[in-house]
Structure 1
């Protein structure tokens, strides 16, 4: 059962990301059929997001690299859940998601997607 506090947190996150964020896209690449072959299919989903550089204290050189960015993606209205391997386009740069946290505390409501992305 959904906890109403997480719906309020989702609404707050959506409002802040809409105010301070930008329009971007989440691209999912579906591989070709293993039997019939073909080309990979790229599907783009519009999203509202905020890309931010990691603070220097978090960059350790193994898990978080110097060029990595943290991207907050609003879960409100996004028809997919971003996954590792998806691509995010922000500021005209395409990033690949290498780590993702859906902030799903009650198992029902995705509050905000926080992604570690690499160009």
Structure 2
């Protein structure tokens, strides 16, 4: 049985995001030192991404709210896997990640990260 080349699919997704997207940042707060304490430190990771507004038919006011953005983030060259709690900066606006899908169809290769971003209240 032939195997599917997810690395090729990842490269194609990256090319499309690079062509039609923009530069952005995924910021993760690193926890304070368990011994010395301190404040969490924001660690920015440069990313290439495409922010898209949700179509009205998907906005239910609970899971997806008005103003939420679906953000496709290229996995190529990104040092982290964006997750709930991270903040994505796109179009000069910070969006807190409230939901995400790494799109690891083979369980290993992240083809593209698709996250739901919400402007923090």
TM-score class normalised by the smaller sequence: over 0.9
Residues 28-87 of structure 1 show CA distances to partners (whole Å, capped at 9, x for unaligned) of 001223443211111000000000000000001110001100000000010110110000
Residue aligning to 1:47? 47
Structure 1: gaps (5+ residues): none
CA distance in 1 between partners of 2:63 and 2:24 (Å):
25
Q: Give the TM-score taking structure 2 as reference length.
A: 0.92
Say what the alpha-carbon RMSD is for the aligned residues. Answer: 1.1
CA distance in 2 between partners of 1:98 and 1:81 (Å):
14
Residue aligning to 2:110? 110
Residue aligning to 1:61? 61
Q: Give the TM-score taking structure 1 as reference length.
A: 0.94
Structure 1 consecutive aligned stretches of length 4 or more whose deviation exceeds 4 Å:
none
Q: Count how many residue pairs are aligned between Structure 1 and Structure 2.
A: 117
